[in-house]
Amino acid sequence: MRKRWIALIVVASLLLVAVGGAYWFGRSLFHMPTARGVDSVNAEVGGTRLLGVFAHPDDEQTVNGLFWRAKTQDGAYTAMITATRGEAGHQVPQVARQEDLGDVRKAEALRNSFNLGVDEHEVWDYPDGGVPDVPEDEIVDRLVKAMKRIKPDVVLAFWPETGATGHLDHMKMGELTEKAIAQIVEEGGAYAGPHHVLYSISPAVALSMFGGETGEFVAENQPDPEFAMAAETGKKMEGWEIHASQRDYLQSAYYLPAWLVYLLWDQEFYNVRDLATDPIE
């Protein structure tokens, strides 16, 4: 009997070591060694008014931690702009008629930002998948007008060369956000533009391993992050329930349930551009 118990203890110990090793290996795939952990990236740069510029409903799912902590911990005014209604998206699962998807996803985005405590959120109606075909000046002028009204000192944008996911809409909105900031600076006036631009950075190793050619492209062409902060994974899980038409996106894309993905990917990573020392030309 004693030998049997010893054998069971040895087997259980080996299983625990294997599970623990697998967990830490999985976490290492979502680690960015250049990033210094901070409580709030917004607070780190002294933000009091934070604006996020996105392309599609559910893009804000990548920055839940940033916005939740900016609002609840830093007391910042928070705002979002989403350029399209996401009408061309693929439903996972299907929750509405496809011709109604734009209206559904707009409502999902507004509900999710409200759940994050965001003070205001504009969802525009540029074509999903067609942002690069819209005249640049039209979107830039609209962004300039919104920024002059909101007066953010911190803007969250897509890295223009990769768009965080390689999506052309993301990349274009990142480029146009930078152009809007440059135009505000050039015009002068009471509002001189934000002090910092934050770029959300995707975990490079995981992207390279699981993201195919697009993942490799993003990993190779995005900058290293300076900061890491808690991802507020509880809010992310709530967000996928709110984004009902995209609820199973992570599982369909990566073959892993959302809870498991966030067990491993529990940080958000940011590259910061200080516009006082590195202005947008």
User: CATH number for the domain including 87?
Assistant: 3.40.50.10320
CB atoms within 10 A of CB 161: 15
The pTM is what? 0.92
Taking the CA atoms of residue 127, residue 122, residue 38 and residue 246 in that order, the dihedral angle to the nearest 10 degrees is -50
Structure-token pair, residue 220 = 């190779």
Taking the CA atoms of residue 238, residue 229, residue 53 and residue 260 in that order, the dihedral angle to the nearest 10 degrees is -40
Q: Are 57 and 105 in contact (CB under 8 A)?
A: yes
Which of 280, 166, 154 shows the shortest CA–CA distance to 222?
Answer: 166
Domain residue limits at 180: 31-274
Q: Are 124 and 142 in contact (CB under 8 A)?
A: yes
- Distance of alpha carbon 238 from alpha carbon 260, whole angstroms: 15
Q: Is residue 13 domain-resident?
A: no
pLDDT in tens, 80-110: 999 999 999 999 999 999 999 999 999 999 9
Q: Is residue 17 domain-resident?
A: no
pLDDT in tens, 154-167: 999 999 999 999 99
Instruction: Tell me which amino acid residue 281 is.
Output: E
Strand segments, DSSP code E, in 101-194 are 120-126, 154-157
Q: Is residue 167 domain-resident?
A: yes
pLDDT in tens, 65-82: 999 999 999 999 999 999
pLDDT category of residue 250 using cuts at 50, 70 and 90: confident
Q: In total, how many domains does the chain have? A: 1
Q: Is residue 19 domain-resident?
A: no
Q: Is residue 177 domain-resident?
A: yes
